[in-house]
Structure 1
Amino acid sequence: MFALLVSAIVALGGALLFLLATGSSFEAMQGPPIAITVIGALILLYLLSHHSNERRSRRLPAIVALGVVAVVGAITTRVDPTPFIKNFFASVQTDGAMDVSSGAASAPASVRIRKMADGFIANAEVNGQLFQMLVDSGAATVVLRQSDAEKAGIDVTHMTFDTPLKTANGTSYLAPIRLKSVRVGQLTIDDVEALVAKPGTLNESLLGMSFLRRLTSYQVAGDFITLRQ
């Protein structure tokens, strides 16, 4: 029994000396490293003292492995674990990064719109009100039909329609306004320049360049347009 106790003390001392030799200080070894080493040594001593020589020889590999785990645990926890934990979770988030349109927040937000018979029709929220708009990079600004402007809470009764707009049917005159926000899917642009058209001027409200140019990019590929912010 005395020999076993001496062996345990030697093992504990050897582990501590190894830690010091690898650059640790006693301050760095406080807490988890000391606790793991001591607990491992006590368990090792318990197992050795409560088994016969025959059973002890059969369990020797497991006992040795336990001792190795105790020493390795002391070594790996001799530093502050906080940076390791932070780096681990950071790597997990990086490896799992996806498009925001798929649910993760680490990539730019994007919206993909399929081309319909009339063009790229987006479900847009203007001042919090939802209606359809035609994505039109040829339009200098967002242009709302008067009915859509009213739906978005805009008072059209005192508007001055003095801004000319050339169309295929000639020149129309529209009223300039500013919108609180325009949202398409996950993309939101605040304080957007826009025009309101007189009734009968447009079939669809237009999502023009006053919105598109404030995105990171927009790209047409085949039957899809992708908007990115």
Structure 2
Amino acid sequence: MHKFLAVLAATTLIGLATPSVFEVLQRRQAQGVETIETPEAPLEASLAPRMLRLALGPDGHARTQARLNGRAVPVLVDTGATRVALDAQTARRLGLSLRPADFTASVETANGPARAALVTLDRVEIGAVSAREVEALVLEGAGLPTVLLGMSFLKRLSSVSIRDGQLELRQ
């Protein structure tokens, strides 16, 4: 029985000493290793809507620069246009390749009837306001002097309003 108690005491002492051995080994391995403590960055999320204000020109229209598929183009914000509309030359600049057979839609423009191709723009950005997968019409030829930023983009916003000579877009 005394041998059993002696073995039990010895294994208990070894068991208690073992973590100390591992701690010593761990300290030896850590020597020469520089550790950098970085404070945890606080997470921030903006609760404010993205907003843009555009001054109306003397003709009552809002003109600005937008980015369509990552390319800067001048646009006219047009709440009367059903979709974003651009001419074939601008479409080529944006990387859209169209064939004559793609112009299957008939549309009414301010300049009369025209043929158009329905496309999807990957991204439309105007200031802090943006949308992905926006339907657009490419008008055949070069009859459109500027890109019309129509309702296919504007309906994605939470509000579009005009006050004090400014067009306000909120997302």
Q: TM-score, normalised by structure 2?
A: 0.69
| Residue equivalent to 1:111 | 52
2:156 counterpart SS class? coil
| Residue equivalent to 2:95 | 153
Q: Which has the higher helix share?
A: 1
- Deviation digits for residues 156-214 of structure 1, max 9, x if unmatched? 34552121111233211111101101011111100011110122321111000000001
Alignment of 1:117-196 (within 5 A): 117=58, 119-157=61-99, 160-196=102-138
Alignment of 1:63-142 (within 5 A): 105-117=46-58, 119-142=61-84
Alpha carbons of structure 1 residues 224 and 175: separation in structure 2 relative to 1, 3 Å = same
Aligned length: 129
- Report the residue type matching 1:202 in the other structure: L
Q: TM-score, normalised by structure 1?
A: 0.52
Alpha carbons of structure 1 residues 172 and 117: separation in structure 2 relative to 1, 3 Å = farther
- Deviation digits for residues 145-165 of structure 1, max 9, x if unmatched? 222211111113455212111
| Residue equivalent to 2:140 | 198
- Structure 2 Cα separation of the partners of residues 127 and 215 of structure 1: 18
When Rg is computed on C-alpha atoms for both structures, the one with the higher figure is 1
- Report the residue type matching 2:153 in the other structure: F
Residue 105 of structure 1 and its aligned partner are, at CA, apart by 2.6
Q: Which has the higher strand share?
A: 2
What's the C-alpha RMSD, in Å, of the aligned pairs?
2.1
2:117 counterpart SS class? strand
- Structure 2 Cα separation of the partners of residues 162 and 201 of structure 1: 17
Match status 1:221 vs 2:163: yes
- Report the residue type matching 1:191 in the other structure: E
Residue 111 of structure 1 and its aligned partner are, at CA, apart by 0.5
- Structure 2 Cα separation of the partners of residues 159 and 128 of structure 1: 26
Alpha-carbon contact 1:172-1:201 (below 8 Å) kept: no
Structure 1 unaligned segments of length 5 or more: list them. 1-88, 94-103
- Report the residue type matching 1:106 in the other structure: L
- Structure 2 Cα separation of the partners of residues 147 and 215 of structure 1: 28
Which structure has the higher relative contact order (CA within 8 Å, separation 6+)? 2
Structure 2 unaligned segments of length 5 or more: list them. 1-41
Q: Which portions of structure 1, spanning 4 or more consecutive aligned residues, are displaced by more than 6 angstroms?
A: none
